Structure 1
Amino acid sequence: MKTSAPSSSIEDYVKVIYSFTEWQDKPITSSQLAQRLGVANSSVSEMVRKLKDQGLVDHKPYSAITLTKDGVRLALSMVRRHRLIETYLVEQLGYSWDEVHDEAELLEHAVSDTFIERMAAKLGNPQRDPHGDPIPTAEGRVLLPHAHRMSELDRGHTGRITRISDENPELLRYLSAEEIDLDADVEVIGRKPFGGALIVRIRSAGRTREYDLADEVTSALWVHSDRSHPGCVLGD
Structure 2
Amino acid sequence: MKTSTPSSSIEDYVKVIYSYTEWQDKPITSSQLAQRLGVANSSVSEMVRKLKDQGLVDHQPYSAIRLTPQGMRLALSMVRRHRLIETYLVEELGYSWDEVHDEAEMLEHAVSDTFIERMSAKLGHPVRDPHGDPIPSADGSVELPHAYRMIELDQGHSGRITRISDENPDLLRYLASEEISLDAPVEVVGRKPFGGALVVRIGSGAKGREFDLADEVTSALWVQSSETHEGCVLPAR
Instruction: Compute the TM-score of the two structures, normalised by the length of structure 2.
Output: 0.97
Post-superposition offset of 1:206: 7.6
Deviation string 1:16-42 (CA, Å, 9 cap, x unpaired) is 000000000000000000000000000
In the alignment, what sits opposite 2:22? 22
**What amino acid sits opposite 1:161 in the alignment?**
I
**What amino acid sits opposite 1:168 in the alignment?**
N
Post-superposition offset of 1:146: 0.5
**What amino acid sits opposite 1:186 in the alignment?**
V
Post-superposition offset of 1:3: 4.7
The question of whether the paired residues in 2 share the 8 Å contact of 1:181 and 1:204 is answered with no
In the alignment, what sits opposite 2:115? 115
Post-superposition offset of 1:230: 1.6
In the alignment, what sits opposite 2:178? 178
**What amino acid sits opposite 2:183 in the alignment?**
D
In the alignment, what sits opposite 2:152? 152
Deviation string 1:79-101 (CA, Å, 9 cap, x unpaired) is 00000000000000000000000
Q: CA RMSD in A?
A: 1.3
| SS in structure 1 of the partner of residue 77 of structure 2 | helix
Q: Residues 136-215 of structure 1: matches in 2 within 5 Å?
A: 136-203=136-203, 207-215=207-215
**What amino acid sits opposite 2:11 in the alignment?**
E
In the alignment, what sits opposite 1:8? 8
In the alignment, what sits opposite 2:134? 134
In the alignment, what sits opposite 1:65? 65
Closer/same/farther in 2, CA of residues 205 and 176 from structure 1, 3 Å limit: farther
Post-superposition offset of 1:235: 3.0
Question: What is the count of residue pairs matched by the alignment?
Answer: 236
The question of whether the paired residues in 2 share the 8 Å contact of 1:197 and 1:213 is answered with yes
1:19 and 1:206 map into 2 onto residues whose CA distance is 37
Post-superposition offset of 1:229: 5.6
Closer/same/farther in 2, CA of residues 33 and 206 from structure 1, 3 Å limit: farther
Closer/same/farther in 2, CA of residues 217 and 207 from structure 1, 3 Å limit: same
Closer/same/farther in 2, CA of residues 12 and 204 from structure 1, 3 Å limit: farther
The question of whether the paired residues in 2 share the 8 Å contact of 1:179 and 1:205 is answered with no
Instruction: Compute the TM-score of the two structures, normalised by the length of structure 1.
Output: 0.98
The question of whether the paired residues in 2 share the 8 Å contact of 1:191 and 1:197 is answered with yes
Deviation string 1:140-195 (CA, Å, 9 cap, x unpaired) is 01000000000000000000000000000000000000000000000000000000
Q: Percent identity over the alignment?
A: 83
The runs of 4+ residues in structure 1 deviating greater than 4 Å are none
**What amino acid sits opposite 2:161 in the alignment?**
I
Unaligned regions of 5+ residues in structure 2, if any?
none
Unaligned regions of 5+ residues in structure 1, if any?
none
Closer/same/farther in 2, CA of residues 206 and 52 from structure 1, 3 Å limit: farther
